[in-house]
Every structure is written in structure tokens, then in C-alpha cells.
């Protein structure tokens, strides 16, 4: 990210910030979509993160860290949106199995479907660490910083999330090998 | 390719392909742009503090040391120019002004959180905190709101408030799912079966942590009426070399060794177990109590 652009925005230059939105907006929105798995909530989270970035930008200590910082803001915004949504739905987990699948999921391979279903079952916090590490390519340490948690927390969340996803895939593979057992108690 | 590689490959392909590229809708861009002129930027800490505050590589004592040194220097030079016949830095002065070493950190109006609305602690970029209400927002479904007085700061991670002292007092909020078998040897693994889900379960389990003596749990109530349990412990002397200087009760919970007391408040909030941990220092006992007693859940 161009340091001068960030510095201009830090001094209140709206045009510079506008350019920054063009540079990071798509990526932030993609991350929010994958964490929240709800288009409307993801849009709200991205908007909240961008406005928070504008509001707090003069206090950013290191302009070179702008992009990493915005990921942190969008993760916080995703968690805020999830919290509001959960309250609205009476503490139900966001987007559970009974919600419609992606339109094209029927044509996906069974493993992808199973992965999709298992990913939905994860909490927002667990989805977050998976997206940061396996979509954005952050290390667990970087993901911890983005999430604002100790590294141990990030590692344990990642471990749990991957274990959950792996188990779901393995169960699906077992079912595929033994179709007669499907549906048994 | 191992099965693990195959699994990670499947997962990353799934994440990459998920709905394809999802650009930020132009309506959201336009909405953000439209709000910029009316959204006030929170001003940086002004003048000298801004320069030191922005220097992320400098730790807090060093920052304050620099501030104090420069303020004293400025006062001496100013005094020499004002009272003396010329610049006589370091020499005797007929009239010595009494420099104030208190940093001039009057917050700008823009830096004060809106009345009644706690500032999102996670969104704060770090550095000293203006007195006021803040909210930890990292626990899904819960905001932990607390009141900060002067003399506290934010450093990574996002769920800890640090005192601006050489000896750091801290307050953190976490969800704790399980405890290690041995807080000095986390490599021995987590307890199996895991600690139960309630505040009472955790309080009971803490009472059995090897090597640490916890006080009996007492009742504690937040300002919004949520009841919880409070325990204390003081790290014993033989824990000084524990785990490289850290007592690791849980993956999410690390406390320094030493001889300073630690307070742990445990609340059940809407089905989530929230643990507020406070590491005391002599200088911050009263302020830390105030902060703990200000907690509410939104």
C-alpha cells in the first residue's frame, strides 16, 4: 500500500481515502463474505470497517500497516455483525444447516458440499481464523494479531476448526464407501 | 500428496471458489464516500505525544521517558531564553523555573468518546487510552463495557488493557473453554474430560490447579446485575521459573509469575462463559478495582 496515500488520508484527505477504498475494499468484502456467509451482513461489516478506518486513521501508528489494520477492523466488524444477528435471532448460531445452500452447491462434488456444510457449523470466531490462514494466507501469528487474540488462542481455534472440518469430510467419505449405512441410527 | 495436504488443498480450493470474486458493491462504496464528510476523524494525540505515540517500535516507558526528557529540555531552554540574558543551557540560572514533568496530554475534543457510547476497544489503533468507556468486542455475542481512568493503554492483543507503568497491571476478558493439566507445562495438554461449561465448573477446576492456591470463590455482580464468581491467587515463589515466566492456565489465559495477586472473575453471559482476569501491581490496585467494578455486559 502506498505510504503517502495513507498519510494523506490520515490528514483527512477524503480523495486519498477514496483511493484506499478502491485498493482494499474488494478484499475486505471477500473476507467478510467468507466469515459471515451472508451478503447483507458482509456488506454492513465492510462498510462499518471502512468508516472505522476513516475515523481512527489519524491514530494509526505505522502507515505501512494500513492494510493489515483494515483486516483487523473488518474482522471486528464481522464479529459485531454476528453478535447483532445472533441477538436478533435469539442466540442462534449464525447461518445454520437449515438455511439454503449456495445456488450452485448441488453441482459441487460431495466433498465440497460436506465442507460447505461443516464450515457453516463453525462459529464465526473459528471461521475467521480459517479464512485468515487458508484464504488470506496469514500465519497463525499474523492471524492472532488480526483477531486481537494471543497466538495460543489462534492456534487452538485453528486446530479445533480444522479438526471439525476434517472429521466432517472423513465421515462423508465413510458414508460414500458404505452407502447402505446411511440413515441408520 | 498426504491426506493432510489433500484436505488443506480441498479447503483452500473451497475458500477460493466460494462465490468467486466478491467485489465490494458500488452501493457500499458510495455509502462510505457519502459519509466521510460528516464522519469526524478521531484526532491523534497532539504534538509531542503524537510523534512518540506513532513510533510503534518504542515501548511505553521509553515513550514516556522521551516525553519527560523533551518537556524538561523545552522548559529549560524556554526558561533560559525567557529569564536569562542568553542561552545558557546546562549552566546556572538566576531564576530557575520549576518544570512540570507531567505530560501535556489533554485530549482533543474529537478524541473523547461520545457520551453513553463506549468506544470499540478493538478498533482503537493502540497507545494511550483517553479516559472513558470502552467495549471489548472480541467475544461473539457479548460486549464487555468498562470504564478507563487516566494512565492506561492498549497494546496487542485486543483483549487486554495495560497500565502505563514499568510494572504492568492488566485487565483482560476472554472465553475459557478448558484448562491445562499443568500451568507450568502446557505441553502436557488440556484436561480430559474438559472443564464443564459453567462459571461454577471453571471455579471448581481452578481450585484443583496443581501448585496454585486459589481463594474460595465469592459472589460478584456487574453494574448491570450479572452475577459471577471471583477468585484470587498469588503466584508462589517456586513458580518464578514456570514455563519461561508465564503461568498458562488455558490456551487463552497467560499470567506473569512473580508475587503480584491475580483476580479472576467468571460470568455466565447468555450461555457464554466470560472470564475477566486482572493482574495487580502496587501502583494500580485502586484503579484496577475501579475498572473491574465498572464492568457491564451489553
In chain B, residues with a C-beta closer than 8 Å to the C-beta of A115 are 10-11, 14
User: pTM for the whole thing?
Assistant: 0.53
Residue B74, pLDDT score? 43
Q: Which helix or strand (DSSP H or E) is residue B173 part of?
A: strand B170-175
Q: Name the 3-class secondary structure at B246.
A: strand
Residue A97, CA atoms < 13 Å, CB-side half-sphere: 6
pLDDT at B148: 95
Asked whether the predicted pLDDT for residue A100 surpasses 60, the reply is no
A140: pLDDT strictly greater than 90 = no
Distance of residue A183 Cα from the nearest chain B Cα, in angstroms: 25
- Output the nine-digit C-alpha cell for B64: 514516556
SS3 B161: strand
The mean pLDDT of chain A is 79
Distance between A96 CA and the closest CA of chain B, angstroms: 16
- Mean pLDDT computed over A49-62: 86
Cα first-last separation, chain A: 55
Give the whole-angstrom CA distance, residue A67 versus residue B62. 27
- Return the C-alpha cell found at B164: 502505563
Query: Which is more confident, B106 or B186?
Result: B186
Residue A102, pLDDT score: 46
Q: Are B133 and B119 in contact (CB under 8 A)?
A: yes
Of B163, B122, B118, nearest to B139 by C-alpha is: B122
**Is A43–B25 a contact, with Cβ atoms under 8 angstroms apart?**
yes
DSSP string, A136-179: S---HHHHHHHHTS-HHHHHHHHHHHHHHHHHHHHHHHHHHH-G
Q: How far is CA A115 from CA B83, B93, B116, in A?
A: 77, 77, 43
Question: Which is it for strands B132-136 and B119-120: parallel, antiparallel or unpaired?
Answer: parallel
For B35-53, what is each residue's pLDDT tens digit?
898 887 775 533 333 322 2
Query: Is 80 exceeded by the pLDDT of residue A47?
Result: yes
**Distance from B82 to chain A by nearest Cα, in Å?**
34
| Residue-wise pLDDT tens digits, B141-150 | 889 999 999 9
Flag whether pLDDT at A84 surpasses 60. Answer: yes
| CB neighbours of residue B218 within 10 Å | 11
At residue A89, the pLDDT reads 54
| Cα separations in angstroms, B278 against A148, A168, B16, B150, B263 | 18, 39, 41, 17, 5
Backbone angles phi, psi at B173, to 5 degrees: -130, 130
What is the overall mean pLDDT for chain B? 75
Query: Per-residue confidence at B55, pLDDT binned at 50, 70, 90?
Result: very low
Q: Are strands B262-269 and B272-279 parallel, antiparallel or unpaired?
A: antiparallel
What pLDDT sits at residue A166? 86
pLDDT score, position B217: 94
The pLDDT score that the predictor gives to residue B68 is: 44
The more confident residue out of A6 and A145 is A6
Q: What are phi and psi of B125, to 5 degrees?
A: -75, 0
- pLDDT at residue B66 in the model: 42
Q: Kindly report whether the peptide bond that precedes residue B157 is cis, defined as omega within 30 degrees of 0.
A: yes
pLDDT, tens only, B201-246: 999 999 999 999 999 999 999 988 899 999 999 988 888 778 777 7
Contacts of B27 in chain A (CB under 8 A): 43
> Does A108 have pLDDT greater than 80?
no
Average pLDDT over residues B101-121: 50
Question: Order of strands, edge to edge, in the sheet holding B160-163?
Answer: B127-128, B152-154, B160-163, B170-175, B272-279, B262-269, B227-233, B218-221
| Residue from the list A46, A148, A153 with its beta carbon closest to the beta carbon of B252 | A153
User: Tens digits of per-residue pLDDT, B64-75?
Assistant: 444 444 444 444
Number of neighbouring beta carbons within 10 Å of residue A82: 25
In angstroms, how far is CA B103 from the centroid of its own chain?
Answer: 22
Best of B141, B175, B246 to disrupt the A interface by mutation (most A CBs within 10 Å)? B141
Given A26, A82, A116, which is nearest B140 (Cβ)?
Answer: A82
Q: Which residues contact A169 (CB under 8 A, 6 or more apart)?
A: A111, A114, A115, A118, B7, B10
Return the sign of the alpha-carbon dihedral for residues A66, A69, A73, A78: positive
More confident residue, B112 or B136: B136
The 10s digit of each residue's pLDDT in B148-195 is 999 999 876 778 899 988 778 899 999 888 999 999 888 788 899 999
Mean pLDDT lowest for which of A12-26, B97-111, B163-177?
B97-111
Worst-scoring range by mean pLDDT, B15-24, B122-131, B169-178?
B15-24
Highest mean pLDDT: which of A55-64, A101-110, B97-106, B132-141?
B132-141
Provide the shortest C-alpha distance from residue B270 to chain A (in Å): 8
Residue B149 is predicted with a pLDDT of 93
ipTM value: 0.79
Q: Alpha-carbon dihedral of residues B114, B118, B122, B126, nearest 10 degrees?
A: 60
Amino acid at each position: 500500500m502506498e505510504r503517502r496515500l495513507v498519510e494523506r488520508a490520515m490528514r483527512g484527505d477524503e480523495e486519498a481515502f477514496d483511493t484506499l477504498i478502491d485498493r482494499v475494499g474488494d478484499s475486505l468484502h471477500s473476507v467478510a463474505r467468507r466469515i459471515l456467509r451472508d451478503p447483507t451482513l458482509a456488506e454492513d461489516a465492510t462498510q462499518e470497517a471502512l468508516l472505522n478506518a476513516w475515523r481512527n486513521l489519524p491514530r494509526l501508528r505505522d502507515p505501512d500497516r494500513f492494510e493489515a489494520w483494515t483486516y483487523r477492523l473488518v474482522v471486528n466488524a464481522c464479529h459485531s455483525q454476528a453478535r447483532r444477528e445472533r441477538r436478533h435471532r435469539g442466540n442462534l448460531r449464525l447461518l445454520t444447516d437449515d438455511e439454503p445452500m449456495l445456488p450452485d452447491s448441488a453441482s459441487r462434488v460431495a466433498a465440497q458440499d460436506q465442507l460447505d456444510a461443516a464450515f457453516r457449523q463453525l462459529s464465526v470466531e473459528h471461521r475467521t481464523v480459517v479464512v485468515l490462514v487458508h484464504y488470506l494466507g496469514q500465519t497463525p501469528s499474523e492471524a492472532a494479531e488480526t483477531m486481537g487474540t494471543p497466538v495460543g488462542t489462534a492456534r487452538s481455534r485453528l486446530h479445533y476448526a480444522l479438526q471439525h472440518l476434517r472429521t466432517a469430510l472423513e465421515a462423508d467419505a465413510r458414508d460414500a464407501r458404505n452407502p447402505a449405512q446411511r440413515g441408520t441410527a | 500428496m498426504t491426506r493432510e495436504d489433500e484436505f488443506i488443498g480441498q479447503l483452500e480450493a473451497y475458500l477460493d471458489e466460494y462465490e468467486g470474486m466478491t467485489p465490494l458493491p458500488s452501493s457500499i462504496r458510495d455509502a462510505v464516500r457519502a459519509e466521510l464528510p460528516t464522519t469526524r476523524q478521531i484526532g491523534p494525540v497532539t504534538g509531542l505525544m503524537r510523534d512518540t505515540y506513532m513510533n510503534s517500535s518504542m515501548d511505553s516507558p521509553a515513550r514516556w521517558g522521551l516525553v519527560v526528557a523533551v518537556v524538561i529540555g523545552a522548559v529549560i531552554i524556554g526558561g533560559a531564553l525567557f529569564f536569562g540574558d542568553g542561552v545558557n543551557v546546562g549552566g546556572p540560572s538566576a531564576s530557575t523555573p520549576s518544570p512540570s514533568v507531567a505530560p501535556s496530554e489533554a485530549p482533543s475534543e474529537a478524541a473523547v468518546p461520545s457520551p453513553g457510547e463506549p468506544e470499540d476497544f478493538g478498533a482503537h489503533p493502540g497507545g494511550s487510552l483517553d479516559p472513558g468507556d470502552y467495549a471489548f468486542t472480541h467475544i461473539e455475542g457479548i460486549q464487555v463495557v468498562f470504564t478507563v481512568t487516566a494512565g492506561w493503554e492498549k497494546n496487542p492483543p485486543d483483549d487486554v488493557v495495560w497500565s502505563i507503568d514499568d510494572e504492568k497491571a492488566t485487565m483482560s476478558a476472554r472465553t475459557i473453554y478448558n484448562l491445562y493439566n499443568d500451568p507450568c507445562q502446557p505441553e502436557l495438554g488440556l484436561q480430559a474430560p474438559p472443564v464443564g461449561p459453567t462459571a461454577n465448573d471453571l471455579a471448581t477446576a481452578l481450585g484443583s490447579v496443581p501448585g496454585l492456591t486459589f481463594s474460595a470463590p465469592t459472589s460478584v455482580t456487574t453494574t448491570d446485575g450479572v452475577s459471577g464468581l471471583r477468585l484470587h491467587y498469588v503466584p508462589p515463589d517456586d513458580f518464578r521459573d514456570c514455563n519461561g515466566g508465564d503461568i498458562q492456565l488455558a490456551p487463552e489465559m497467560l499470567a506473569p509469575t512473580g508475587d503480584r495477586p491475580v483476580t479472576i472473575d467468571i460470568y455466565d453471559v447468555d450461555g457464554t462463559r466470560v472470564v475477566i482476569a486482572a493482574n495487580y501491581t502496587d501502583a494500580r490496585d485502586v484503579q484496577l478495582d475501579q475498572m473491574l467494578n465498572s464492568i457491564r455486559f451489553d
